């Protein structure tokens, strides 16, 4: 979804369908034998056998990404925002690496600046009032392009997460399957018509008031804010375990 990727029509936004692409396999678990040297009695023996049975059983389970209607945040990043050259605060985004690990890693790399391209200095170049704000063009800084941390583009991992309401962070594309680069958007409302077309990978945890402010700015005829709203700094935020509530009716059985 470059600057021309989401088109307003009378009745909604029309975006072509895309297909599920990327899959990430689980790491192989290697168990080495251990020597038990002091089993003094049958009670101790049974305790150890019970513990070993629990550990082996737990290791065979897929690490859960969701717990009873809550989604596990695996990484947090921050975006410091300047408007008209003045800092107005920080947006913190929680990302879901157990659902979309490739997409999360792409966003993290572009935030921390591990490669030649970074989100620092890039504007939110497009606002569709009431729906979303869009940014992340690390090449031209005007919505005409971008590049990923893995090359020009990368695949659509999956569409498990949806645009359920405000604050969900999703990848922009070029109206073609598997054309994710660096551009992204943050929703201002439920954008269900974008489901299964754009990969959702994060949720705003702090600073949604800043996102709304950008969404309400005066725009030119290209849907660009008349006063620049720029990412002046960004990086990874160290944090403890964080969970995000899902809308009612959604639980771990869907994943």
- Inside any domain, residue 44: no
pLDDT of residue 69: 86
- Inside any domain, residue 172: yes
Share of the chain above pLDDT 70, in %: 71
- Inside any domain, residue 254: no
Please give the Cα distance from 49 to 35 (Å, whole number).
13
Query: What are the CA-CA distances from residue 36 to residues 41, 45, 159, 204 (Å)?
Result: 13, 10, 47, 49
Please give the Cα distance from 78 to 88 (Å, whole number).
13
Task: State the pTM of this model.
Answer: 0.75
- Inside any domain, residue 215: yes
Please give the Cα distance from 133 to 91 (Å, whole number).
13
**Residue 6 reports pLDDT greater than 80:** no
**Residue 3 reports pLDDT greater than 70:** no
What CATH number should be reported for the domain holding residue 236? 2.40.100.10
pLDDT of residue 215: 99
- Inside any domain, residue 113: yes
- Inside any domain, residue 15: no
- Inside any domain, residue 140: yes
Please give the residue range of the domain that contains residue 119. 65-248
79: left (phi over 0), alpha (psi -120 to 50) or beta: beta
214: how many CB neighbours lie within 10 A of its CB?
21
Mean pLDDT of 115-144: 97
pLDDT digits (tens, 9 = 90+) for 139-171: 999 999 999 999 999 999 999 999 999 999 999
Of 213 and 15, more confident: 213
Structural domain count, the chain: 1
Of 83 and 14, more confident: 83
Least confident among 50-59, 168-177, 208-217: 50-59
Instruction: Evaluate whether 231 touches 107 at the Cβ level (below 8 Å).
Output: no
Mean pLDDT of 168-193: 96
- Residue 92 three-state SS: strand
Query: Closest Cα partner for 143 from 204, 220, 218?
Result: 220
pLDDT of residue 222: 96
pLDDT digits (tens, 9 = 90+) for 12-68: 443 333 333 332 223 333 333 333 333 345 444 444 444 444 444 433 334 455 566
- Inside any domain, residue 108: yes
pLDDT of residue 254: 55
CA distance between the termini of the chain: 26
- pLDDT confidence of 248, banded at 50, 70, 90? confident
Query: Closest Cα partner for 91 from 227, 242, 202, 210?
Result: 210
Where would I find the beta strands (DSSP E) of the chain?
7-9, 12-14, 66-67, 70-73, 75-83, 86-95, 126-128, 132-135, 168-171, 184-187, 200-206, 229-237, 242-245
């Amino acid at each position: 979804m470059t600057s021309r990727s989401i088109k307003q029509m009378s009745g909604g936004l029309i975006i072509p369908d895309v297909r599920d692409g990327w899959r990430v396999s689980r790491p192989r678990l290697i168990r080495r034998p251990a020597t038990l040297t002091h089993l003094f009695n049958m009670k101790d023996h049974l305790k150890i056998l019970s513990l070993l049975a629990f550990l082996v059983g737990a290791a065979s389970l897929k690490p859960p990404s969701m717990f009873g209607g809550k989604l596990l945040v695996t990484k947090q990043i921050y975006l410091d925002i300047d408007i008209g050259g003045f800092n107005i605060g920080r947006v913190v985004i929680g990302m879901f690496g157990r659902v979309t690990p490739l997409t999360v890693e792409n966003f993290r790399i572009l935030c921390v600046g591990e490669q030649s391209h970074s989100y620092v200095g890039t504007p939110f170049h497009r606002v569709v009032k009431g729906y979303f704000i869009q940014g992340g063009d690390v090449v031209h800084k005007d919505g005409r392009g971008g590049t990923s941390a893995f090359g020009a583009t990368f695949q659509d991992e999956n569409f498990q997460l949806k645009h359920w309401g405000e604050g969900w962070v999703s990848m922009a594309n070029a109206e073609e399957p598997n054309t994710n680069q660096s551009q992204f958007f943050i929703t201002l409302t439920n954008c269900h018509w974008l489901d299964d077309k754009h990969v959702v990978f994060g949720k705003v945890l702090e600073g949604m008031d800043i996102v709304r402010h950008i969404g309400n700015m005066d725009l030119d005829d290209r849907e660009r804010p008349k006063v620049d709203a720029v990412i002046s700094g960004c990086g990874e935020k160290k944090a403890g375990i964080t969970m995000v509530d899902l809308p009612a009716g959604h639980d771990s059985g869907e994943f």
